[in-house]
Structure 1
Amino acid sequence: MAGNIKDREAYQHLNFVYQAALCVLAQNPENTELARFYCLTQKTISKRLVLRQDPSTIVRCLSCGLTKQFPNNPKHKLWVDQPEAQLENQTSQDYCAMFKLWTDQTVPKQPKT
């Protein structure tokens, strides 16, 4: 299962940078600048590759102690994971009706001459 992960090397790189930030703080808690640099590097990599991290993450600022949590809804499903989003689960009538609805909303009406 682990061999099928998309962008596996990128996730490994993110994991390495995260562990490096933790290691720096474990060795010297005063070295927050280097830990911040590693965290910024991690954020830059994930933005550039459009990778998402665990949404249930709890982040705590080392300077002011502010804690921020990104809650996770376990019942949430992405649209592409829902059965009605899959083309093979739709009949041709459903597809034609959706296409007509879409074109009616996006294509301007031509005036009759």
Structure 2
Amino acid sequence: MAGNIKDREAYQHLNFVYQAALCVLAQNPENTELARFYCLTQKTISKRLVLRQDPSTIVRCLSCGLTKQFPNNPKHKLWVDQPEAQLENQTSQENQTSQGKDNH
């Protein structure tokens, strides 16, 4: 199943940029500007490609210590993952509707 990930290269790029930010801070905790640049790059890439990070992510600001948590609802489904959003399902529903109209 791991071979079927959409935008695999983009996720790998995001992962690389995230690891680069962590590596910079591990080597020199004072170098927050470069780490912020990497985080901004990561955010820009994910927005441009409309990719989402893990919803259970906890983000902590290195300057002020503010923590944000993005709670995860395991029952939540994106619209594109729902059967009625799939084009092939819409086509079959339209055919059933038009066949029902022809019978009246």
Query: How would you bin the TM-score normalised by the shorter chain?
Result: 0.7 to 0.9
Q: How many residues align?
A: 104
Q: Rate the CA distance shift 1:111–1:7 in 2: closer, same or farther, 3 A.
A: closer
* Residue identity (%): 91
- Normalising to structure 1: TM-score of the pair? 0.73
**How many Å apart are 1:78 and its aligned residue?**
2.0
Q: Rate the CA distance shift 1:74–1:3 in 2: closer, same or farther, 3 A.
A: same
Q: Rate the CA distance shift 1:44–1:86 in 2: closer, same or farther, 3 A.
A: closer
The match for 1:110 is 101
The match for 2:65 is 65
Moved over 6 A (4+): 90-94, 104-113
Structure showing greater radius of gyration is 1
Residues in 2 aligned to 1:108 and 1:92: alpha-carbon distance in whole angstroms: 10
Residues in 2 aligned to 1:111 and 1:58: alpha-carbon distance in whole angstroms: 55
Residues in 1 aligned to 2:18 and 2:96: alpha-carbon distance in whole angstroms: 46
Gaps of 5+ in 2: none
Residues in 2 aligned to 1:112 and 1:87: alpha-carbon distance in whole angstroms: 25
Residues in 2 aligned to 1:7 and 1:66: alpha-carbon distance in whole angstroms: 31
